[in-house]
Amino acid sequence: MSLTSSPADLDDVARRYPDWHCCRGTDRLFYARLRDSDPPVIVRGEDPVDLRDQIQGAIYRAEARA
């Protein structure tokens, strides 16, 4: 499944971003944590597509600071 042409599921997001640990919380939100980051980098979204967008935003912001 392509992330750009159809809705993503959590497994698609996790495959696309292997440096991120992705999971669904008990509060029905989706979370991703950048592995081995210090300080921790954590994003959340309402669904896997939103989570993917939040990860992309976090990556963009980190690259802009570098």
Q: For residues 31 and 42, is the Cβ–Cβ distance under 8 A?
A: yes
Q: Is 22 within a domain?
A: yes
Q: Is 61 within a domain?
A: yes
Q: Is 4 within a domain?
A: no
Q: pLDDT value at position 6? A: 54
Predicted TM-score (pTM) of the model is 0.86
Closest CA to 10 of 38, 47, 40, 41: 47
Q: pLDDT value at position 11? A: 96
Overall domain count for the chain: 1
Q: Is 56 within a domain?
A: yes
Q: Is 52 within a domain?
A: yes
Q: Is 5 within a domain?
A: no
Q: Is 29 within a domain?
A: yes
Q: Is 2 within a domain?
A: no
The DSSP-derived string for 1-66 is: --TTTS---HHHHHHH-TTEEEEE-TTS-EEEEETT-SS--EEEESSHHHHHHHHHHHHHHHHHH-
Residues of the chain below pLDDT 50? 1-5
